[in-house]
Amino acid sequence: MNIIPLFDRIVLKEEKIENEKKSGIIVPDIAQQKPIFATVTHIGTGGKIEGNEIEFKVKVGDKVVFNQFASHEFVINNKRFILIKQEDILAIIED
């Protein structure tokens, strides 16, 4: 099954973040804020929105930080994905 996001939407795969150990205390996953790091897996079809041509600033494989409250999660073949508009990606992370 292939995912084809429309227009300026982007599909992300959430990156797992290891538990951080600070001052001898391990914070369990359930107590931590939802991770906001992900990898771009698919980009939209492009086109025009309100007369403006869509220009993608990210590409498949980019690691990004995104606004977690603007995302929509879905599951296909037991894999969890995140659908988001490009404008809700806050930064690209370079190694």
In this structure, is residue 3 part of a structural domain? no
How much is the pLDDT for 64? 96
In this structure, is residue 4 part of a structural domain? no
pLDDT band at 15 (very low <50, low <70, confident <90, very high): confident
CA distance 38 to 14: 4
Structural domains counted in the chain: 1
CA distance 5 to 2: 10
In this structure, is residue 2 part of a structural domain? no
Helix (H) or strand (E) holding 94: none
CA distance 91 to 47: 23
**pLDDT, tens only, 23-65:** 566 655 554 556 589 999 999 999 988 888 999 999 999 999 9
Averaged pLDDT for residues 71-88: 93
How much is the pLDDT for 91? 94
- What CATH number is given to the structural domain containing 86? 2.30.33.40
For 82, the domain range is 9-17+26-93
In this structure, is residue 1 part of a structural domain? no
pLDDT band at 1 (very low <50, low <70, confident <90, very high): confident
Angle at Cα 60 formed by Cα 56 and Cα 65, nearest 5°? 75
- Please state, for a pLDDT cut of 90, what percent of the chain lies above it: 60
Q: State the CB neighbour count (10 A cutoff) for residue 4.
A: 10
